[in-house]
Amino acid sequence: MKMGEHIQLQRVIGYFHGTIFLFSIIIGAGIFIAPKGVLKYSLLNVGVSLSIWTACALVSVVAALSHAELGTTFPRSGAQYYFLKRSFGPFIAFFYLWIHLFSTPAGIAARVLLLAGYITQPFYPGCFVPEVPKKCLALAILLCLGILNARGVKEVTWFQTVSTVVKITVLCFISLTGIVLLVRGKKENLARFEKAFDAEVPDASQIAEAFLQGLYSYSGWGVLVRIAGELKNPGENIPKCVITALTLVALIYLLVNISYLAVLTPKEIMSSDAVAVTWIDRIIPSMQWAISIGVSSSIVSSLNCTLFSASRIYFVASQEGQLPLILSTLNIHSCPVVAVIQILIFASILIIPSDLITLINYVGFTDWILLGLMMTGLIKLRFQEPNLSRPYKVHLPFVFGTLAMSLFLVLTPIIKSPKMHHIYVIVFVLSGLLFYFPFVHFNLGSTYFNKITCFLQLLLNVSPADDVEYISPEGVLQKIPPETATKKE
């Protein structure tokens, strides 16, 4: 890196690309492969299933709009982490960080293995794909995504736009085909909808499980709050992007599910490992390649978006002193490349013994626990700091509604049908204490980390950001030089 060269995160993502990022991370492979979790817990009741998909869309919009206030009030990268630290102190913020240090790489590893298996399956017709070539391809995909992210935000947004257009095109084809089949009015296409609510009605715990399945398909709407430090005018663009993206995603999800049900019976959907493939086999068998492209582009764009946004959490945690300083350094393309490398290393380790990917199941439901904490903190700050600058202010009933839904989704399964993995999650979260007190609270090993930082800075050609953003007590975004920030830590 040349002397005197200015480097910092660039605010280059506007309304259009912000919406594209939301599309990228929300629409994953699930809607193509296995949108049957909601149907399963709805007891194959078509009417209840479609109602839950609609309700999940409304809950997601309310939760996302409530969550958006964090990114508009604290418009910096990793705003969720910073918000928790400001609301509840460094202890709670570290637990948020601790969960993401492992759940994010585990989720990436699970999805990249799914993608690698999907790509290699045609080369092994009629049998299982060997683990070695699948894992080698998965590692190669991670390497390519790492290189793309290291090239900076402009290259990432270009890639996300192309991949999102591809998968939206495939989903629109499925949706429109379903509408055409229903308009034609053939009995076999309309049969599932004539007596939609005649099947058995699920109980409260089953509805909660169905909601969790549906809401998982909408997960990722918090990505813009993670990357608020690279958004143009976040106070205006975050709420606009959320409303636009989630409205369109909800419409697409509902139409795609209706299209599946217009062709397949609920039992056929439940017995299928890849619903979209089964659906296309019934309609146009020669178009299977289109589904393959849709699945692949969905997984790749979602992976890329997750890698991009997660690295910003580690970036801000490093600036706040809870991770080594090297993670808040940037390369010449204004990318926190060391944070990207750390995520890829963790994900690669989890790929090799793929049975460890089950970790993602143990920590997945903690997202709703963390969201409940954020809503509690939002209410707390409303009363503690009423004069805090808030460019966008969500209505409190939305916040209370999101908090109530969070409690319902977390507590209902535990009370109605407690499972062993709930204990595993508690043990995993509490294990963070073994790292928090020695390395964060007492700052042990700082001399050792400083030596590593100097070595890696020279090796990777990275440097701290020229201006470190922070939020003043009045809620105003300000900047301090990196030397002052380093002394502060």
State the CATH number of the domain containing residue 124.
1.20.1740.10
- Count other Cβ atoms within 10 Å, centred on residue 450: 14
Instruction: Flag whether pLDDT at 295 surpasses 70.
Output: yes
Distances (CA, A) of 72 to 201, 229, 294, 383, 399: 41, 10, 33, 18, 15
In a domain, 485, yes or no: no
Tokens of 483: 């030397």
CA 348 to chain centre: 19
Backbone angles phi, psi at 30, to 5 degrees: -60, -40
d(CA 154, CA 17): 10
Residue 474 has pLDDT above 60, yes or no: no
CA 32, chain centre distance (Å): 18
The burial class, CB within 10 Å (0-12 / 13-18 / 19+), for 194 is exposed
- Angle, vertex CA 245, rays to CA 69 and CA 366, nearest 5: 55
Q: Is residue 489 part of a domain?
A: no
- pTM check: above 0.75: yes
Q: Which residue has the higher pLDDT, 265 or 474?
A: 265
- Per residue in 37-53, pLDDT tens? 888 888 888 888 899 99
Q: How confident is the model at residue 467 (pLDDT cuts 50, 70, 90)?
A: low
How many C-beta atoms surround the C-beta of residue 188 within 10 A?
10
Instruction: With both helix axes pointing from N to C terminus, report the angle between 153-184 and 15-26 in degrees, rounded to the nearest 10.
Output: 60
379 domain-assigned:
yes
Q: How far apart are CA 102 and CA 265, in angstroms?
A: 39
The answer to whether the CB of 368 falls within 8 A of the CB of 99 is no
Q: How far apart are CA 84 and CA 66, in angstroms?
A: 15
Total domains in the fold of the chain: 1
> What is the mean pLDDT of the segment spanning 179-190?
78
> Strand, helix or coil at 13?
strand
Q: Which one is predicted more confidently, 313 or 357?
A: 313
Please choose, from the candidates 470, 468, 354, 275, the residue with its C-alpha nearest in 3D space to the C-alpha of residue 116: 354
pLDDT tier, 347 (very low <50, low <70, confident <90, very high otherwise):
very high
HSE (side-chain half, CA atoms, 13 Å) at 423: 3
pLDDT on residue 486: 42
Tell me whether residue 4 is in a domain.
no
Do the domain assignments include residue 9? no
pLDDT at 272 exceeding the cut of 50: yes
- Comparing 149 with 288, the larger pLDDT belongs to 149
pLDDT above 70: residue 1: no
Higher pLDDT, 2 or 317: 317
* Tens digit of each residue's pLDDT (9 = 90 or more) over 70-89: 999 999 889 999 999 989 99
Q: How many CA atoms within 13 Å lie on the side-chain side of 166? A: 22
60 with 215: CB under 8 angstroms? yes
Nearest to 22 by CA among 315, 249, 233: 249
Q: Which of 91-100, 136-145, 196-205 has the highest mean pLDDT?
A: 136-145
Between the CA of residue 466 and those of 64, 125, 227, 334, 448, what are the distances in Å? 32, 54, 18, 11, 24
Sign of the C-alpha dihedral, residues 476, 477, 479, 485?
Answer: positive
Host domain of residue 105:
15-478
Half-sphere exposure of 370 (CA within 13 A, CB side): 22
Reported as a single tens digit per residue, the pLDDT across 121-169 is: 778 777 777 888 989 999 999 999 999 999 999 999 999 999 999 999 9
Mean pLDDT lowest among 19-28, 144-153, 182-191, 247-256:
182-191
Burial of residue 163, with CB atoms counted within 10 A of its CB: 0-12 exposed, 13-18 middle, 19 or more buried: buried
SS3 assignment, position 381: helix
Average pLDDT score over residue span 357-378 = 73
Inside any domain, residue 487: no
For residues 415-426, give the mean pLDDT: 75
3-class secondary structure, 186? coil
**CA-to-CA distance for 328 and 358, rounded, in angstroms?**
30
82 found inside a domain: yes
Kindly state whether residue 484 falls inside one of the protein's structural domains. Answer: no
Measured at the CA of 221, the angle between CA 215 and CA 224, to 5 degrees, comes to 170
Is residue 95 a contact partner of residue 440, using CB atoms and an 8 Å limit?
A: no
The pLDDT confidence band at residue 172, using thresholds 50, 70 and 90, is very high
